[in-house]
Structure 1
């Protein structure tokens, strides 16, 4: 009886693994190059966007990072800039496609109010320099973690979208409920069992493949100054390590 139970469990786990591999292959996006990620702090890209970055790198899509502060809350801004360049290299983002903003009115901090208009101008400046951005990816209105700087970035991108001609695809990372935010690998389960990973070009799910579950941790290790004990726990149990639900802004 014990042997039968072990065999049944092994078969179920093997099937789930195969389904996981299948949906991660199907979860490729159809967004066009070049893709600009707009976020608030160095390490946001590793903590929240790894599945999508993995998918884009696999498809050889050109990616840009616009980080709207250097994360100087604890006086480590210059070091954190270097860490972001290293993380970008890990994700295949060339250094010339990364800009870190260090503006007096865009400083890291829970109590710092960031102007949507100023954020819009910073994005416009980068887009003018890059010249070929077709897709912008950022946080949704809840900021994923609820950080005021994340929410401000969303508001700035929305300000940009509302004041520019159509043609750019604006995407946002969906904030999951508190319950589903920290379920770890279980975040993959609904998609492995019954959900579609792609609804449209502007609404899809990026799922990290089984062989690449280490990528978020590897990217976070580039941010050595931030990798304190509770961030190890975050990376392990955060659903964003494994799944990105993307929708149109």
Structure 2
């Protein structure tokens, strides 16, 4: 617990004890975590000395609610060991089952009906619109692998060079290398370097300008389907969100051309970092939607995604390596259709 949390706790405790105040010392003894994924739900024992009776009081801190619990049972080391063993075994079983599911998808014919017209796959001209080099590998790898494996004609439009750190030229070459790993022809990858579309958290992009650039690309390659970020942009990056708004602007002004648009659904932080285990929640969620507005795409080759991201050597630092390993976007994409 940090200092602010401790002060908050003491205030709550003093409300419970009213006129009694904590004067001597506080010792925290961590006993056990009851958690699933990133749900923080911990039990602490506190030993407090009070000025009036110097009594020892046990307090249970559960979901931010403080309760007096004098008779709380202390767990033995054997019980704690067994609890941790059960938790770790359950996580291991989930990971193994998830890996088997991914392996099954890669070895056998996929049952995904995305872009199938009555069971017949029609070759589509698809444009993937991203904000920066490395977005394709970090977030859209399952979608890219599916589209390439099904024989669709995929083009990538990157709206900036990612020059926030002065590495724009390097990152352009890295995108070409990553595209080769993902089996996207280099000539079908376009990187925009516009003075008003520069990488940066505080740099807002003009939606009309984005729509015009995307429109030119769709006309040049007879694009009939666009895939991009949703309005949150996975990470909340303003450039990701602006790309989404630019595509929506295009969809509004070119409604007569009937361009189909799908967006990558952003998920909460607990699912986002649950890794391969999230494939089950994604599959369940998409199957609960019976209107055909959602599609769940499993990554048929996660190793290829990792290799593609490794081509972005200027960005391949330790926390991005962990992100690619534990991010659910490495293993599954949930797409939602954008209505005009």
TM interval, shorter chain, is 0.7 to 0.9
Q: Report the equivalent of 2:130.
A: 39
Q: TM-score, normalised by structure 2?
A: 0.65
1:215 has 2:292 as partner: no
1:193 and 1:167 map into 2 onto residues whose CA distance is 30
Q: Which moved more, 1:45-54 or 1:188-197?
A: 188-197
- In the alignment, the residues of structure 1 paired with residue 246 and residue 202 of structure 2 have an alpha-carbon distance, to the nearest angstrom, of 17
Instruction: State how far apart, in whole Å, the 2-side matches of 1:124 and 1:193 are.
Output: 35
8 Å contact kept, 1:26–1:197: no
Shift of 1:91: 1.6
Residue correspondences, number: 240
- Give CA-to-partner distance per residue, 1:192-230, whole Å, 9 cap, x none: 679639956652010113xx2212211101111110110
**1:166, CA displacement in angstroms?**
4.3
RMSD over aligned CA atoms reads 2.6
- In the other structure, the counterpart of 1:105 is 196
Asked whether the equivalents of residues 28 and 55 of structure 1 are also in contact (C-alpha less than 8 Å), the reply is no
Shift of 1:134: 0.9
Is the counterpart of residue 146 in structure 1 residue 227 in structure 2? no
1:29 equivalent in alignment to 2:114: yes
Distance 1:194 1:148, change over 3 A: closer
Rg larger in structure: 2
Match of 1:124 in 2: 215
Provide closer, same or farther for how the CA distance between residues 198 and 94 of structure 1 changes in structure 2, counting only shifts above 3 A.
Answer: farther
- Other-structure match for 1:88: 179
Shift of 1:124: 1.1
Given that 2:99 and 2:276 are in contact with CA atoms closer than 8 Å, whether structure 1 keeps it comes out as no
| Aligned partner of 2:206 among 110, 115, 119 | 115
Quick one: structure 1 residues 199 and 92, their matched pair in 2 at CA, closer, same or farther if it must change by over 3 Å? farther
Shift in Å, 1:27: 2.9
The structure where helix makes up a greater share of residues is 1
Deviates more, 1:184-193 or 1:66-75: 184-193
1:236 has 2:321 as partner: no
CA change 1:55–1:200 in 2 (3 A) is farther
SS at match of 2:198: coil
1:245 matches 2:330: no
Q: Which runs of 5+ in 1 are unaligned?
A: none
User: Structure 1 residues 12 and 225 mapped into 2: Cα distance closer, same or farther (>3 Å)?
Assistant: closer
Structure 2 residues without counterparts, runs of 5 or longer: 1-85, 117-122
Residue 126 of structure 2 contacts residue 153 of structure 2 at CA under 8 Å; is this kept in 1? yes
